[in-house]
Structure 1
Amino acid sequence: MKPIIQLLHFGYHQAMSCIFPVAIFGTLALSSAIEIPFVYRYDAILLILLAVQYLMYRSGLETRDEIKVICVFHLIGLLLEMYKVTMGSWSYPEPGFTKLFDVPLYSGFMYASVASFMCQIWRRLKMDITGWPGLLAAGLLGGAIYLNFFTHHFIPDFRWWLTGLVLIVFWKTWIIYRVRTNTYRMPLTLAFVIVGFFIWLAENIATFFNAWKYPDQYQSWQLVSFSKISSWFLLVIISVIIVAQLKHVKASRHTNV
């Protein structure tokens, strides 16, 4: 009976941590099925997601520090989206006033939703990390991964070399998390793979509801390439590095006080 109770508590915290991602996909689905009067769909999605973030903050579901992290991820994601759309990797074919370089501003929230999930699950499960490689190694690796998303369009793609470096750098890194009175642990690299896979599933849902389109989806929707899992795997690493480092800095400040 106890394992079932533990699983239910774990599932509850996972579900509560997914409120913002669910809000995004729910908005995409509804706006795809129901025509919104007097406003373009992309603009309406942005207004709705801004309202959701405000309500989550006012209700205490998100803290001020978490909002700051989400804003950072929104900016990182938006810059990447602008570049990828310019390079023809995918497109946002619908009109909208809140588009910058053919990218709707709401798109940054899809990256920010990953940060929202990580911040919330970190707090809810009282997570810690052991064997953290430090800011220099993690920061350089995260920077190289992010840069590769831009440079692979005109020089060789180093994603598999970077994946090998991830396994080396984070070989001894474990996530410690707590469910009720029990403490568990998981290799950080395994967590990267699991989260990357679920983001790939979410990406299939998003493209199905026309959040954006890959070139092979212009005529009709089809499954997103499995190769995208490796992209999300690497993107999740950047997210974890930023969140973990910010959590480490904050914990150090509290210790010094």
Structure 2
Amino acid sequence: MRKSFAKNLIPNIILMVITLIMVVPLLQVINIALKSNQEFLSSPISIVKDPQWGNFLEAWVSGEMSTYFLNSFIYTAAVSIGVCLIATLASYPIARKHIKGSNFFYLLFLSALFLPAGLVPLLFLMKYLNLMNTYHGFIILKIGGGLSVAVFIFTAFIKGIPKELDEAAAIDGCGYLRYVLTILLPLMKPAIMTVGMLTAIGTWNDFVGPYVFLIDKELRPLTSGLYMFMGEYAVNWPILASGILIVAAPLVIAFIFLQRFIVSGITAGSIKG
């Protein structure tokens, strides 16, 4: 009993420390968001005494977040669906080795995980292809950036699906594309949820990309609204903290409902790969 307690003591302590490092800043942001500007300036770290729930409404209105929210939803939904669909069509022939050099293509996708983004070349390429400052251009850019992780996870997951299922579908006259879309995709639900959530987080929270590739204010996503609270000489920190919580809330809610699929998708992909 004592040996078991001593064996688990250090991992539990490490886990508690990591949890505190992640939770304490979040609680502090919530604490700041509920303060008035005067209360924050007088005591930034103290616990809020008079919660100002109106800060969230003021952040929504002053940050013009109604327009930004719609843009973020369009970008996030389009990129997540695009990445999952294209990665599935690419991962299946790689996993089943239906094409020559499948290992080369797999390593090519995998190498993108370790290479820098190359912001300047991307900027010139987007400008040359007339994709700058457009909805579809930014969506294509984000899809290309998310394919490497998606192919890596999907390929490992598909390798765990029995090949006999492919043969049975072929005998029944099921076409290649129909098999992938109607049979394979439902089986990949945990992996798709994992990739979809990871892609959504990267797209929704992207702050630098919109300012580089989207010039018009009307095309920018929700994270751009946070910059509206940065004054030249002063910053209203409670309103900024409220804006941060508004931006983070949709992803937190989505993760709460999808965490079961995300964990199972990562576990299945790591074991079956």
TM-score calculated relative to the size of structure 2: 0.30
Q: Which is strand-richer, 1 or 2? A: 1
TM-score calculated relative to the size of structure 1: 0.31
Q: Which is helix-richer, 1 or 2? A: 2
